[in-house]
Structure 1
């Protein structure tokens, strides 16, 4: 974490500066940052002080509640973080707990079994947990069913729970697209202004069934007050841009608009190639199924999980794998294809941009 007063000067010096935190992902709520430390098996709370530094406020052990890495971490609302972790990878038993914030106390915990899906006679598909969101009074969690040989069950799937008890898990599926939900696309849920829930569906080289019908990434919809997929809605991203397009991330911009991090699935040589310059940005009009692609150079944007979004500006990082540089990137989501500007160079070795967080006082 490196405080700065300007994102659009010449340089932000990251050489031996800032502070390093033992976290793979961050959760922002109000003026606090939360993260899980895998070596310590603790969840930490830090407060952003007026100068932009992070000050440790509290920590709580979750060693008795998670098996390994708190795999699915979810900010459900301003008062609750939900953590889920498989007891054994690919098997149906899952531990879960909720942490109340900002007081940072464990409020509930338990174990559930993922719903069974048959692969063949007397054999179940392996199952995985993804990120989750509250919708229609239920908890909806993305998932994927697969085996350890690279085969994936057809369709796309979520598990719907009675919340807050995390009981009665029900498997809800659609055959509109074969894809994983809420796993690769860690930012993959967007709720529009009218209450409809849109879900990024990723398939192909990174995760899931390779396309056999020219449909790669897509967007699915669950309507307001519903828990089943809208059978009349599939936003085929490849069809909209007339080329193979998959989706890595989806961030809400307002109304029925979202910014997506997209890539050409046919150009990626598996997961080992996922950190090269494959990704580009597009504004999605979710209701009308339209994409405006921005002329930002392709980059390694996969790790840029926490953009700063304010006043129609989407501010993130532009990491060029080819040039080994990282810049600030700002896109005006109300502008045309060239409505972007490159900001300061992040000066330092082995830098990757994860997130931009504004001070509340700013």
Structure 2
């Protein structure tokens, strides 16, 4: 009996090991009815037990009659995701119990397929390095560790190919503040990383009177300098939103929310926009746009560069930024946001009347294509989630695809 029991145990263990190995290699399959196309969208649905994320492919999104649904369509992700893209690869980064990055492409039939996957410890901020490299930065969560980890992700082989630990910035050797990365722009063999200082234990933001950007070599990742500007507050906000944008001529524009709803615990400067001239390692002293004053009190949260000096921006509605609004800009059901066109050259702000008041988002990644910007809008009290096609030249918008779910936190187009 002792021999039989031992043999049974060995067999059980072998089967268990095989099961674990197979589950580790498991790749989610696309649904049989998966739509084809080279528009790739992250769809977040709301169920009784929380949200679920799907990745969908579509042949068009600029159609008000089109519904974006996970029913019989798309690939369900492992959990709540951030998204990123470069070249012909779209990444999902699961942030639930299993931290997994998965790269997807489009096959010859126009359907999504998994290119590969890898494990990661922390990834909180993403930006394009080049057509084969996605830059990702993991930030320290909580106190005790102050180094961020810059990671270069290979979009062809779906792996982390280079790592570099850095505190982003330290005032002195006794500095015990985390520096949370908010946006990444690579330009002229340099990588610009905006951040804001915070207490990792309490998330208090004691220093909100200066904009900060650390500049690295790229792809070497050597720290070159940290530049500061006291004309506005820190650049960007938590949650993989866009806080810096590169114009056609290589100039970089930065947006500072100066907003309690954006996760800051105090506000000391006006919401505004700064500029870093192409190839420079300093803020342009001749350029500052006080967006808050020009807009009558609205604050710019995030934006997409649409060309010709125009931004399509999600802005916080005046009068909604009080102590009860902390982190409110991340709630899709909280209608404190509006959309507007920001003219960087003429320093004007024009509301887009066609888009209703709506909630904010984590990781708002909009698509710029053929002079239009496509953005996910979840409006209340109508409770309609829809993509809007925005024309920056006329400050108008039309309804595009309807979202059968909570929101679309990322919109990409890959391939031809």
Q: By the TM > 0.5 criterion, same fold? A: yes
How well do the aligned residues superpose, as a CA RMSD in angstroms? 2.7
Write out aligned runs for 1:259-298 (5 A).
259-264=312-317, 266-268=319-321, 269-271=324-326, 273-274=328-329, 275=331, 276-295=334-353, 296-298=355-357
| Residue 219 (structure 1) aligned to one of 270, 273, 287 | 273
Contact 1:142 1:180 in 2 (8 A): yes
Q: Distance in 2 between matches of 1:325 and 1:247?
A: 23
| Number of the residue aligned with 1:315 | 374
Change (3 A) 1:113 1:28: closer
Instruction: List structure 1 runs of 4+ shifted beyond 6 angstroms.
Output: none
- Aligned counterpart in structure 2 of residue 94 of structure 1, from 148, 158, 167: 148
1:13 deviates by: 5.7
Partner of residue 104 from structure 1, selected from 142, 158, 164: 158
Any unmatched runs of 5+ in structure 2?
1-54
Shift of 1:267: 0.7
Alignment partner for residue 32 of structure 1, among 83, 86, 89? 89
TM-score by length of 1: 0.85
Higher RCO, Cα 8 Å, sep 6+: 2
**How many pairs were matched up?**
347
Partner of 2:310: 257
For the 8 Å contact 2:124–2:240, the answer to whether it is kept is: no
Q: Do the aligned partners of residues 262 and 359 (structure 1) sit closer, same or farther apart at CA in structure 2, a change above 3 Å counting?
A: same
Counterparts of 1:190 and 1:104 in 2: how far apart (Å)? 26
Rounded to whole Å, the distance in 1 between the matches of 2:225 and 2:362 is 31
Whether contact under 8 Å (1:157, 1:181) holds in the other structure is no
Indicate the structure with greater helix content.
2
Q: Could you tell me how far apart the structure 2 residues matched to 1:355 and 1:223 are?
A: 29
Residues 311 and 151 of structure 1: is their aligned pair in 2 closer, same or farther, counting only changes over 3 Å? closer
CA separation of 1:161/1:304 partners in 2, compared to 1, >3 Å: closer, same or farther? closer
Match of 1:207 among 258, 263, 281: 263
Matches within 5 A, 1:1-362: 1-5=55-59, 7=61, 8-12=63-67, 14=69, 16-18=71-73, 19-22=75-78, 23-38=80-95, 39-49=97-107, 52-62=110-120, 66=121, 69-90=122-143, 91-117=145-171, 124-147=176-199, 148=202, 150-153=204-207, 154-168=209-223, 170-181=225-236, 183=238, 186-205=241-260, 206-208=262-264, 210-212=266-268, 215=270, 217-241=271-295, 243-264=296-317, 266-268=319-321, 269-271=324-326, 273-274=328-329, 275=331, 276-295=334-353, 296-303=355-362, 305-335=364-394, 337=395, 339-347=396-404, 350-358=405-413, 360-361=415-416
For residue 82 of structure 1, give the secondary structure of its aligned residue in structure 2: strand
What CA distance in whole angstroms lies between the structure 2 residues aligned with 1:139 and 1:226? 12
TM-score relative to the length of structure 2: 0.75
Is the contact made by 2:388 and 2:400 (CA closer than 8 Å) also made in structure 1?
Answer: yes
CA distance in structure 2 between the partners assigned to 1:161 and 1:28 by the alignment: 21
Contact 1:137/1:163 (8 A) holds in 2: yes
2: CA distance between counterparts of 1:251 and 1:279?
15
| Distance (Å, rounded) in 1 between the aligned partners of 2:414 and 2:212 | 38
CA distance in structure 1 between the partners assigned to 2:413 and 2:178 by the alignment? 41
Alpha-carbon separation, structure 2, partners of 1:168 and 1:311: 36
Query: Structure 1 pair 288/184, CA: closer, same or farther in 2 (3 Å)?
Result: farther
- In 1, Cα distance between equivalents of 2:168 and 2:161: 22
CA contact (8 A) 1:185 1:248 kept: no
Give the drift of 1:4: 4.3
- Displacement of 1:55 after TM fit? 0.6
CA spacing shift, 1:164–1:251, aligned 2, 3 Å: same
Of structures 1 and 2, the larger Rg is shown by 2
